[in-house]
Amino acid sequence: MKTIELLEQAQPEEKQVFLNEKEKHQEAWQQALSQAVTNPKQLLQALQLDSSLMNEQVLEASNQFRTFVTESFLNRMGKGDPNDPLFKQVWADPLELLEQAGFETDPLDEKSANPVPGLLHKYHGRVLIITNSHCAINCRFCFRRSFPYSDNHFSSKHRQAIFDYLKSDPSIEEVILSGGDPLLLNNARLTELLALFESVGHIKRLRIHSRIPIVLPSRITQGLINCLKRSPLQKIMVIHSNHPQEFNEEVSDAMQMLHQAFPRVLNQSVLLKGINDNAETLISLQNILFEHQIQSYYLHTLDKVKGTGHFDLPLEQALSLYQELQARLPGYMLPRLVTETAGKSEKTLIC
Ligand SMILES: *Cc1c(COP(=O)(O)O)cnc(C)c1O
Ligand code: SF4
């Protein structure tokens, strides 16, 4: 479809984004993003946590990988609890500064599967587009903290090379928008991307990997849903939730809307020491997902990225925990436990 036709079909709200991009028209979710908490001290204050948690090392860790958390996610944290499972996912812990053997900056060796800037092609039939370099949250355990994004993400500069690559390989049936978080693009830019994929005849499926339905549910607007619904590609959404406490009414509403555009919504989680490394928590998470018609997909072991060692669960413990899940959950609620090893055709976590 041509851009002009899309423009004509666009809802008034999207037209605004199309036309006023340079005039700084902001949607509510964009405003929410600009008000995200980026200062660890402010985070402690908002949660009524002891200011003694703040020190030079926290600042250093937060300088290395910026503290970034939306108010919506923050509002789901318990007050006064330094062990809150949501807080721990975003707190710049001094432990991040410890050097740990085996934890490196590019443990997955992504460089070797990167034929064109902004595109990873590792698995048969599927390519992953590094849609942008940012997320709506900075999860401390993420490999993104050291991913060399600088010129390695989708931009108009690389658009033609990406298009040529997609066209040249008829085995590519699925495009995965990952990131950074692809839903940080505005509706107009997403529409343009979708039109690009639609114009390659052998691409059948569009998959979106996003944590936004969990961390910035206000982004799931009717305008976004309409822009996705319009695409004839088969659509799959993979969200990322690690803990049942990440769900609240706002998130439930966003999930309901997502189902309008995505017949399949899946979830992936990361197994995190001190956050979700017990059977009760993980079982409760699978139940909440099921209630929201979200299919459990992957449970990832931690990627061994520098600065994340304190989240790592020894593989033996991960396996025995997984056996407990297997014993207690129906098969359709059981995520697959996956580990990523450099050079092997298994999984990588990119949200
Ligand atoms: C995760 C990932 C995929 C998708 O793998 P699935 O097993 O189909 O979910 C594809 N390419 C890359 C580079 C990935 O990291
Ligand atoms: S890619 Fe996913 S896990 Fe990593 S910071 Fe972004 S939202 Fe968090």
Q: Which atom of ligand 2 is nearest to the CA of 142?
A: 4
Q: What is the mean pLDDT of residues 108-120?
A: 82
Eight-state DSSP code of residue 297: E
Q: In degrees rounded to 5, what are phi and psi of residue 347?
A: -90, 155
How much is the pLDDT for 113? 85
| DSSP conformation letters of 212-253 | HHHH-GGG--HHHHHHHHT--SEEEEEEE---GGG--HHHHH
Band of the pLDDT at 111, cuts 50, 70, 90?
A: low
The answer on pLDDT for 6 being more than 50 is: no
Does 240 sit in the ligand 1 pocket, CB within 6 Å? no
Distance CA 304, CA 339 (A): 10
pLDDT digit string (tens) for 232-248? 999 999 999 999 999 99
Question: Which residue puts its alpha carbon closest to atom 7 of ligand 1?
Answer: 347
pLDDT digit string (tens) for 54-65? 999 999 999 999
Q: What is the mean pLDDT of residues 170-197?
A: 96
How much is the pLDDT for 17? 38
Q: Nearest-5° angle of CA 184, CA 189, CA 194?
A: 105
Distance CA 219, CA 221 (A): 6
Query: What's the gap in Å between 4 CA and the centre of ligand 2?
Result: 34
Does 350 sit in the ligand 1 pocket, CB within 6 Å? yes
Band of the pLDDT at 103, cuts 50, 70, 90?
A: confident
pLDDT above 90 covers a percentage of the chain that reads 78
Question: Which residue puts its alpha carbon closest to atom 9 of ligand 1?
Answer: 347
Does 137 sit in the ligand 2 pocket, CB within 6 Å? yes
The answer on pLDDT for 8 being more than 90 is: no
What integer best gives the mean pLDDT of the chain?
Answer: 90
**Most informative mutation of 301, 348, 350, 351 for ligand 1 (most atoms within 8 A of CB):** 348
Give the E-state strand segments of the chain in sequence order. Answer: 119-123, 126-130, 174-178, 205-210, 234-240, 264-270, 295-300, 336-338
Least confident of 1-15, 164-178, 212-226: 1-15
Instruction: Tell me the chain's radius of gyration from C-alpha atoms.
Output: 20
How much is the pLDDT for 126? 96
Question: Which residue puts its alpha carbon closest to atom 6 of ligand 2?
Answer: 135
Q: 24 to each of 17, 21, 66, 131, how far by Cα in Å?
A: 9, 6, 24, 21
Distance CA 269, CA 277 (A): 11
Query: What's the gap in Å between 288 CA and the centre of ligand 2?
Result: 21
* Two tokens, residue 302: 């931690």
pLDDT digit string (tens) for 144-157? 888 878 789 998 89
More confident residue, 10 or 52: 52
Distance CA 270, CA 318 (A): 11
Report the length, in residues, of the chain. 351
At 104, is the secondary structure helix, strand, or coil? strand
